[in-house]
Amino acid sequence: MPIDLSLQRVVKLLGKLGNPHLSNFFTIHIAGTNGKGSVCSYLSSILKENKFRIGKFTSPFLINRYDCISINNEPVNEIFFLEIEKTINRINLECNIRATEFEILTVIAFKIFELKKINFAILEVGLGGKLDATNNSDNGYELVNGGVILTGITKIDYDHENILGKTLSEISEQKAGIIKEKVKCVLDGSNKEEVIKKVREISESQGSKLYITNNDNGDRMEDTVIKTENFGEIPFKITPLLGRYQYQNLSISLKIIDLLYPYISRLRFGNGFTSDCKIKREQIIEGIKKVKWPARLQTLDLCINKEGERMRVLVDGAHNGSAAVELGQFIDKQYRQKGKKIVFVMSVTNSKKIESLVMPLFQREDRVFLTRFDYKDGVDQMPWISSYKCSVLKQKIERVYKKKGAVIPEMAVEENLEKLLEQMQWDREREVVVVCGSLYLASALFRIHLEHCSDGTKDIF
């Protein structure tokens, strides 16, 4: 079923299941255009290291539908997931609720969180915020009986304008729809002023205190620290996640942990809470060091065939202009400035604007291979999602460069990603292969790796 933002169906379906989202766990809800998955991963890793039982729901799924739901950072068991899914699909059909696939997935997550007796749910918004299926829990500011206890909003930029609005102010209004009455909210301070203005306006209308992170991270990232109220200075260099933008993501995460700290002794958890569940600086440091978030500036020794041949690639799910700028800056600093040439492998969802995606990335000396992430069976349970045909994408890129009067980089097309990887020629010493354009492309790439490498899961997660 195509995207249809509404809360009526998911609320009805949750009600038929006894409202598992209102179980005795507390929710931290994260919205934004870029960075929200990283923030969810930081929060989950930090809280797990402090001995809390954590449920995390992020989207889209990476390889299989069930891997978007995790308990203590481990994807839920497939058989367990399918049992819950079967029950929920039956109720959805019998009651003629007609919930969308994402709404059903969200309800599965809540039901699993209830059954696994978690302490905290870390939720990433799927699309927008105000009418997203994840935005259905009561506020938890009274610190009893669960609910949303804190919210966070990462970098907001243009994306899904046909659904969320044409201006940053309109998009921000949708994203800030997760803000709850009297529940504190943390906002990425690197956002543009019109974003900050709109989010502040909504937080004030809800009686929610807004905290805006510091945007000054200096030039030398290796020397940068993030100041906290309760845990001293945290060195930025300890994070294994790459990219300057992780400074903002980690800053949001640590501010949320800072705000959570004084609540801990007052929270009334259900099962699974012990006296060991406290937030300590040492465990925060360890949680940051252990954080993982695949397909974000991730280096992978990709297995491309049954013979075990490997190709080292940089995988990044950059799929909008803001993410492309960050990826481009990383490539420049890490590779181009060191004399490396770039070979791009790209596939793009057919609803995306091309100019803002390719201009920050491609340079005249690059080589570009265009392919499709849905070259086999499409995206599981999401038939409305498809990639541009390679010929169409190539034409669009050529138009962009001609319009700008720029030199068009060398481009080749191959619809079959697996075939492309097997036939690609590249200079291992002088060239770096960068796979980008869509998280669905990263997903297709990981499935190829797992098909040819029996123990390949550890390379990805």
Rounded to an integer, the average pLDDT of 234-251 is 95
For residues 89 and 95, what is the distance between their CA atoms, to the nearest angstrom?
10
pLDDT score of 247 more than 80: yes
Predicted local confidence at residue 218, as pLDDT: 55
pLDDT band for position 276 (50/70/90)?
A: low
From CA 413, how far away is CA 77, in angstroms rounded?
Answer: 38
Q: What is the mean pLDDT of residues 272-281?
A: 71
Higher pLDDT, 448 or 377: 448
Chain segment 434-449, per-residue pLDDT in tens:
999 999 999 999 999 9
Arithmetic mean of pLDDT, 22-42: 95
Residue given tokens 């500011």 in the structure block: 141
Asked whether the predicted pLDDT for residue 362 surpasses 80, the reply is yes
d(CA 297, CA 316): 5
Dihedral sign for Cα atoms in the order 132, 138, 141, 144: negative
Return the SS3 of 309.
coil
The pLDDT, as a whole number, for residue 420 is 95
In angstroms, the CA 404 to CA 216 distance is 33
Whether residue 310 is predicted with pLDDT greater than 80 in this model: the reply is yes
Mean pLDDT of 266-288: 79
Can you give the pLDDT at residue 351? 86
**How big, in percent rounded to 5, are the helix, strand and coil portions of the chain?**
40, 20, 40
Cα–Cα separations (whole angstroms), residue 163 to 131, 203, 322, 323, 387: 11, 22, 18, 19, 19
Q: Which domains, and CATH codes, for the chain?
A: 7-290 (3.40.1190.10), 298-452 (3.90.190.20)
Q: State the average pLDDT over residues 47-56.
A: 96
* Cβ neighbourhood burial of 450 (10 Å; 0-12, 13-18, 19+): middle
pLDDT of residue 457: 81
Greatest alpha-carbon span in the chain: 65
Residues 349-371: what's their mean pLDDT? 94
Q: What pLDDT does 382 receive?
A: 67
**272 pLDDT band (50/70/90 cuts)?**
low
Tell me how far apart the terminal alpha carbons of the chain are, to the nearest angstrom: 29
Using an 8 Å Cβ cutoff, are 145 and 24 in contact? yes
Determine the pLDDT at residue 189.
Answer: 96
Can you spell out the DSSP letters for 136-169? -PPB-TT-SS-EEEEEEE-B--S--HHHH-SSHH
pLDDT of 355 > 60? The answer is yes
Mean pLDDT, rounded, for 178-193:
96
pLDDT of residue 380: 65
Of the pLDDT bands very low, low, confident and very high (cuts 50, 70, 90), residue 222 is low
User: 402-430, pLDDT tens digit by residue?
Assistant: 999 999 999 999 999 999 999 998 898 99
Percent residues over pLDDT 70 in the chain: 93
Task: Provide the mean pLDDT of the chain.
Answer: 91
Range 207-217 average pLDDT: 86
| Confidence (pLDDT) at 418 | 92
With a cut of 70, say whether residue 273 has pLDDT above it.
Answer: no
324 vs 350: CA distance, rounded Å: 17
Percent of the chain past pLDDT 90, that is, above it, reads 78
Q: Kindly report, residue by residue over 143-164, the tens digit of the pLDDT.
A: 667 899 999 999 999 988 888 9
| Local structure of 430: helix, strand or coil | coil
Instruction: Over range 62-82, report the average pLDDT.
Output: 95
Q: Is the pLDDT of residue 349 over 60?
A: yes
Q: What is the pLDDT of residue 29?
A: 98
Average pLDDT over residues 317-328: 93
Instruction: Collect all residues with Cβ–Cβ distance below 8 Å to 308 and sequence separation of at least 6.
Output: 452, 453
Q: For residue 318, what pLDDT is reported? A: 92
Instruction: State yes or no: cis peptide before 60, omega within 30 of 0.
Output: yes
Confidence of residue 378 (pLDDT cuts 50, 70, 90): low
Label residue 262 by pLDDT band (50, 70, 90).
very high
Question: Tokens at residue 77, please?
Answer: 């068991």
Q: What is the pLDDT of residue 305?
A: 87
Per the document, the length of the chain is 461
What's the average model confidence in pLDDT over 342-367?
A: 94
pLDDT digits (tens, 9 = 90+) for 324-333: 999 999 999 9
